[in-house]
């Protein structure tokens, strides 16, 4: 039985060629508001959060992704794919790498500090070596600033994790999205209780498609190696 508010609504009409199941109704605002309230109540119970925290999260300010300046540290295979996806959302892409890449038009920064100054979000996507250990340190975090967000999908030790925790606690950066941690599998206890931190556990590869790609790349690299050909995905020292 349709609610009275719905039955009272006028139909917008549909071409006779459409099947009868494809009905598009216009309902009045009071019906939509009631429906929204019911789903919000269900959402609250499903979340398990205390009510004040739930309401605060619902009212928290949000920003559009489009137009944000994204600084990527390490424009390799993964960094390039991140840039391509973010560019589709209208983001402005900057990057730091060993050297400028002629194949892209993104603005290059030889200094990670200068990259952070110009970025709203800093994404760490580089390998870990002696040059990139703690490539994001106190100076870089302070350059990113109180409105900046740091995301690390590279290796935990690319960031000075203790300094990142301090910067978050002191409000020197706005938030963080670590996908890796400096002392795996240990996660700093402070991060677990922070509302401005989203923790993930490095499982982007855990899809059937990704595992298939990994298998194919491994086989192709082995075939290239034993045939004396260049590797498809060499790891540079």
Decide: helix, strand or coil at residue 100.
coil
**92-96 and 149-152: which strand pairing?**
unpaired
Looking at the chain, the number of H-run helices and the number of E-run strands are: 9, 6
202 catalytic per annotation: yes
184 catalytic per annotation: yes
Tell me which of 38, 85, 184, 201 is the catalytic residue: 184
DSSP the chain: ---HHHHTSPB----TTS-TT---B---HHHHHHHHHHHHHHHHHHH---HHHHHHHHHS----STT-EEEEE--SHHHHHHHHHHHHTTPEEEEE-SS--TT--SEE-S-HHHHHHT-SEEEE----STTTTT-B-HHHHHHH-TT-EEEE-S-GGGB-HHHHHHHHHTTSSSEEEESS-TTTT---HHHHT-TTB----S-TT-SHHHHHHHHHHHHHHHHHHHTTPPPSS----
Tell me which of 155, 161, 163, 182 is the catalytic residue: 155
201 catalytic per annotation: no
Could you list the active site residues?
A: 155, 184, 202
């Amino acid at each position: 039985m349709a609610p009275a508010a719905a039955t009272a609504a006028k139909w917008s009409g549909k071409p006779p060629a459409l099947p009868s199941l494809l009905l598009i109704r216009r309902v009045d605002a009071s019906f939509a508001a009631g429906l929204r309230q019911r789903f919000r109540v269900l959402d609250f119970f499903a979340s398990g959060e205390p009510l004040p925290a739930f309401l605060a999260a619902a009212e928290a300010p949000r920003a559009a992704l489009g137009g944000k300046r994204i600084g990527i540290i390490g424009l390799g295979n993964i960094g390039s794919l991140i840039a391509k996806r973010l560019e589709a959302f209208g983001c402005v892409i900057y990057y730091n790498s060993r050297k400028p890449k002629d194949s892209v038009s993104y603005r290059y920064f030889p200094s990670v500090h200068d990259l952070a100054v110009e970025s709203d979000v800093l994404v760490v996507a580089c390998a870990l070596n002696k040059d990139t250990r703690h490539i994001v340190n106190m100076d870089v975090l302070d350059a990113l600033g109180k409105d900046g967000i740091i995301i690390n999908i590279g290796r935990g030790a690319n960031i000075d994790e203790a300094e990142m925790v301090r910067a978050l606690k002191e409000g020197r950066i706005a938030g963080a999205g670590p996908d890796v941690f400096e002392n795996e599998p240990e996660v700093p206890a402070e991060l677990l209780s922070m509302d401005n931190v989203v923790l993930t556990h490095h499982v982007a590869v855990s899809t059937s498609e990704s595992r298939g790609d990994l298998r194919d790349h491994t086989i192709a690299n082995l075939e290239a190696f034993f045939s004396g050909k260049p590797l498809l995905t060499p790891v540079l020292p």
